[in-house]
């Protein structure tokens, strides 16, 4: 079951500070428990009046780790972030860069597409582009698809696992294989896409 969570309705309009962030973490996990494993949840920031980097770090960073647990397995995208006069995207980018993660945020340029806010390691950025290009891959498949890369299937699998832990790709098991696919369509070349560290590399129920 996919769905949308209005953070203003669940937590209130003020999302500021480490103390409030830690206090909000538990109730937010409890609220998300109604979603089945594998669900895509939109965190809607519309109606939020204030937001700080310390709140993001105290709430959303541990939430990513919690969501990666096998029994939870939730994926998140953020909406209502761009277009505010307070430039909340800067707060997300600050936290994402410091914590070495990337957030999937609704892109303002193209409807139904998302951009990365934060800077991925160049290797992971390139791997994510390959997953999106081929729709569904395994480590062994990437080894065959990119023969010029002097790495084995295990190394490709490790990259895919890292992206999965960051909630940027889905993982399903089919027999002995672990298959990875994109969570949403990412606009890698959009104006708002933070992209890669160190340079360029080739809705359901609202609550």
Question: What order do you get walking across the sheet with 136-137 strand by strand?
Answer: 136-137, 177-182, 169-174
Amino acid 206: pLDDT:
38
Quote the pLDDT of residue 205.
35
Mean pLDDT by 10 residues, the chain (207 residues): 91 96 96 95 93 97 95 94 78 92 81 81 92 93 87 92 96 90 84 47 35
Predicted local confidence at residue 204, as pLDDT: 33
Give the span between the Cα atoms of 19 and 75, in whole angstroms.
25
**Maximum distance among all Cα pairs of the chain, rounded to whole angstroms:** 51
74 burial (CB, 10 Å; 0-12 / 13-18 / 19+) is: buried
- Whole-number pLDDT of residue 201: 32
Residue 203 has what pLDDT? 33
Q: Which of 105, 109, 79, 83 is nearest to 93 (CA)?
A: 105
On whether the CB atoms of residues 22 and 48 are closer than 8 A, the answer is no
Q: Which two tokens stand for residue 189?
A: 């070349």
Determine how many CB atoms are found less than 10 A away from the CB of residue 199.
Answer: 7
Q: Are strands 177-182 and 14-15 parallel, antiparallel or unpaired?
A: unpaired
């Amino acid at each position: 079951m996919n769905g949308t969570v209005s953070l203003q309705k669940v937590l209130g309009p003020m999302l500021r500070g480490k103390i409030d962030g830690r206090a909000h973490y538990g109730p937010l996990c409890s609220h998300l428990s109604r979603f089945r494993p594998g669900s895509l949840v939109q965190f809607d920031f519309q109606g939020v009046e204030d937001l700080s980097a310390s709140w993001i770090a105290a709430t959303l960073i541990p939430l990513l780790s919690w969501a990666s647990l096998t029994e939870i397995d939730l994926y998140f995208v953020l909406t209502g972030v761009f277009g505010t006069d307070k430039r909340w995207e800067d707060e997300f980018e600050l936290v994402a860069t410091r914590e070495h993660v990337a957030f999937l945020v609704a892109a303002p340029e193209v409807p139904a597409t998302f951009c990365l806010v934060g800077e991925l390691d160049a290797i992971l950025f390139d791997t994510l582009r390959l997953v999106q290009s081929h729709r569904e891959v395994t480590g062994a498949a990437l080894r065959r698809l990119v023969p010029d890369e002097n790495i084995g299937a295990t190394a490709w699998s490790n990259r895919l696992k890292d992206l999965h832990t960051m909630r940027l790709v889905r993982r399903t098991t089919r027999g002995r294989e672990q298959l990875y696919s994109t969570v949403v369509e990412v606009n890698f070349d959009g104006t708002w896409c933070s992209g890669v560290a160190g340079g360029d590399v080739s809705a359901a129920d609202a609550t």
